[in-house]
Amino acid sequence: MRLIQRSKPASVYYVVAFLSSLATVLAAVYALTGGADAVRVFTNINLQMFLRVFAAVCVMGLASVFSYRSGVWNIGQEGQAVMGALAAIAAPDVITALALSAAVATGWIATPALLRVWLGVNEAVTTFLTFFIAVYIARYFVENPLRDLTKKGFIVSVEAPFLETYAALAIALLAAVGVVALYRARVGLYLRLLSSGEEVVKYAGKSPKLYTALALLLSGALAGVGGALEIMTREAGRYMTLQQVNTGFGLFGISASWLGGLNPLGVLAASLYIAWLYEVGINLKTVGMPALVANALVGSAMVWGLVGYVLYRYRVVWR
């Protein structure tokens, strides 16, 4: 088997990848539930929850697009989301929460971004490690400065301000439009050029270092907002516990970005699918399947997204 570069990329393979992912999920769920509960698992959807998950996944997916579209590898969205959610918990109202979460998450990714730009330290590894650090820092905040002392016997943080789901949806759509507009503007052009190689940006007369840093910082900021949206739109339990500081939405966002072909509008579509997968995962839990099955389903969706990208660029020749 070998891969031959296409003369023209074929977007249709993202559809193929999506259908393959869907087939994988259907097969896996049928196999796990024995078919009896399968229909209920697929169709039992809480619209309110579906929409709020969609909004958060969408923003996280756009965060991933900022990174991967520029050929830099932020894989610490989960950690940035934790920091964003932490900022939301600390904030008194929704507006402050959103601004603070973006600021804190930008600060959180600044170290990997600056190390990458100045010293060429691989950003994939540092963003991955900062996720572990974020988890411990969040636990510290849950246990000490942000602990809700009125809840005796439980170690939980104070509650984040409440955000209506439709407001979160508006923010997600606004973010998508913003990314589209940015990619049409000159700054966005250089951001996209970066994936063709740093030299290309350099010969276009711009500093590749500046745009690399910008791509990572934008990615981190959006991931932070995504984390804040997730925790603020919950119907109840808008707090963190020691065991549950991260929610896995970073992985959801990465999957949405690849299934969406690293295109902001594609991400909107893919986020619908990922949000549905989240519902399927919850339904699986109610029929007694472990929670990790949901993550495995989303993980398989991500791998299909990666396959879609390879088929979009290459022809597979068997010989």
Give the footprint of another protein on residues 68-97 (CB under 8 A). Answer: 73, 75
Token duo for residue 307: 């396959």
| Nearest CA-CA partner of 100 in 92, 109, 108, 91 | 91
CB under 8 A: which stretch of 39-47, 87-95, 114-122, 203-211 binds another protein? Answer: 114-122
Rounded CA separation 250/82 (Å) = 9
> Does position 174 bind another protein by CB under 8 A?
no
Give the footprint of another protein on residues 192-211 (CB under 8 A). Answer: none
Rounded CA separation 236/186 (Å) = 43
Whether residue 63 contacts residue 217, with contact meaning beta carbons closer than 8 Å, is answered with no
The least CB distance from residue 306 to another protein, in Å, is 4
> Does position 295 bind another protein by CB under 8 A?
yes
Token duo for residue 68: 């991967």
The least CB distance from residue 248 to another protein, in Å, is 9
CB under 8 A: which stretch of 205-213, 233-241, 276-284, 285-293 binds another protein? Answer: 285-293
Could you give the angle at which helices 165-184 and 186-193 cross, rounded to 10 degrees?
80
Which residue, 103 or 135, is less far from another protein as judged by CB?
135
| Nearest CA-CA partner of 66 in 286, 233, 263, 296 | 263
Which residue, 182 or 303, is less far from another protein as judged by CB?
303
The least CB distance from residue 293 to another protein, in Å, is 7
| Nearest CA-CA partner of 98 in 181, 140, 106, 192 | 106
Give the footprint of another protein on residues 220-259 (CB under 8 A). Answer: 251, 254, 258
CB under 8 A: which stretch of 22-30, 85-93, 267-275, 302-310 binds another protein? Answer: 302-310
Token duo for residue 109: 């990714």
Which residue, 93 or 143, is less far from another protein as judged by CB?
143
Which residue, 49 or 303, is less far from another protein as judged by CB?
303
Which residue, 165 or 255, is less far from another protein as judged by CB?
255
CB under 8 A: which stretch of 7-15, 186-194, 271-279, 305-313 binds another protein? Answer: 305-313
Could you give the angle at which helices 249-259 and 264-286 cross, rounded to 10 degrees?
130
| Nearest CA-CA partner of 159 in 77, 56, 63, 88 | 88
Whether residue 301 contacts residue 274, with contact meaning beta carbons closer than 8 Å, is answered with yes
| Nearest CA-CA partner of 79 in 30, 120, 136, 41 | 136
Binding site for another protein (CB under 8 A): 1-5, 73, 75, 111, 115, 119-122, 124-126, 128-130, 132-133, 136-137, 139-140, 143-144, 251, 254, 258, 290, 292-293, 295-296, 299-300, 302-303, 306-307, 309-310, 314
